Amino acid sequence: MTAEIQTFFAAMVPFLELRAAIPVAILVYGMSPSAAYFWAVLGNIIPIFIILAFLEPVSLWLSRNFSFMRRFFDYLFEKTRRKHTGRVGKYGFLALFLFTAIPLPVSGAWTASLVVFLFGLPYLKSVISIISGVLLAGVVVTFITQAGISVKDSYGVQVMGGFLLLVLFIYFVYYRRRVNYKKDVRNSALS
């Protein structure tokens, strides 16, 4: 299988998507940044149409034929819509675009397509928002990959490793603060 096809399929994998496909294409397969971007973005866009085309019919079939699946989908839809309808209604397609465009774990075309399905958002506007987000995420990941290569070439692997550890530390501190803040808000609401 050629590097282009491998990059294309790697970008289709949930949770990896183009966040992993572009760096692998550039660093492992030696592809040019523009070729890596093209194949990864193309591979990341295809699942959007597959998910939006088949998720609803499959979930309806499962709900009709299996009572536990009906209970599961009823619970999932009710809980998700109750918790997040305000935010989705407030920010709409901009939130969908940003959610897809920021290349973080669990954000991407797969999850955004699931959000569209769960909230019953309009198809065309949603697809445009997600594809725009994928295009921007591809640019961001390609830029970060190229910047990392430049830093490694200029300063060495040790500085690159230190920088990555610093980024992970900052993310961990931010995440812990956010989790603790949510716990504090929940506890103050209960008292």
Sequence ranges of the domains in the chain: 3-155, 156-191
Q: Which long-range contacts (CB under 8 A, 24 or more apart) does 138-141 make?
A: 138/18, 138/22, 138/37, 138/40, 138/41, 138/44, 139/37, 140/101, 140/102, 140/103, 141/18, 141/19, 141/22, 141/23, 141/40, 141/103
Of the ranges 99-103, 106-110, 125-129, 178-182, the best mean pLDDT one? 125-129
pLDDT above 70 for 122: yes
- Rounded to two decimals, the pTM is 0.77
pLDDT above 90 for 46: yes
125-166 confidence digits (pLDDT tens): 999 999 999 999 999 999 999 988 887 788 877 877 887 788
